[in-house]
Amino acid sequence: MNATSEIPDGFWQRRILGPLVAQLTQGISAERISLTISLGLTIGIFPILGSRAILVSPAAWMLKLNQPIIHTVTFLTFPLQCLLLLPFYRAGEALFGQPSIPLSIPLIINRFFENIGKFMQDYGMTGLRGIAVWALVAPVLAALIYYIVRIPLRSMAHRLNCSKS
């Protein structure tokens, strides 16, 4: 009986837990998987829509992280990215002492598709300020996620008798 056959049926078990168990049984350490998940979540909330895959692929390649896991994590963070866009932009305005401009996700998307040049003129600096806030938060967030996720992954690896820690 292999380790993945012990995972109960269900979406999360088949699509999330099963692949993690498979990676652990194939010799990938809990620390590497934790790093993959941590960077996937952190890059997944990058405050520019449509940029996650462009950022996560080279990062995963350079660090030799598991591409399917990191892309799955960034895909799953899309709702969180949408929820955090406006807070990142507002925090950027506050950080740089800029006045608030009208912002909403539908407004931003409509403006983008109406006229990309005008959109960049109107919202380009807002996006850059949001990126600055993300860049300040990202290292702390990535470390926090890494250490939190590593605990259950180490436990899982230990239960599977494949831990290298």
* pLDDT tens digits for range 8-55: 567 667 667 777 777 777 777 889 989 999 999 999 999 998 898 899
Q: How many CB atoms lie within 10 A of CB 130?
A: 25
Are 88 and 133 spatial neighbours (Cβ–Cβ below 8 Å)? Answer: yes
Q: In terms of DSSP H, where are the helices of 27-115? A: 30-44, 52-63, 67-76, 78-95, 105-114
* pLDDT surpasses 70 at 76: yes
Its pTM stands at 0.81
Report, in angstroms and rounded to the nearest whole number, the Rg of the chain calculated over CA atoms: 19
| Residue 80 one-letter amino acid | L
Query: b/e map of 142-154 (b: 16 or more CB within 10 Å)?
Result: beebbeebbeebb
Are 61 and 43 spatial neighbours (Cβ–Cβ below 8 Å)? Answer: no
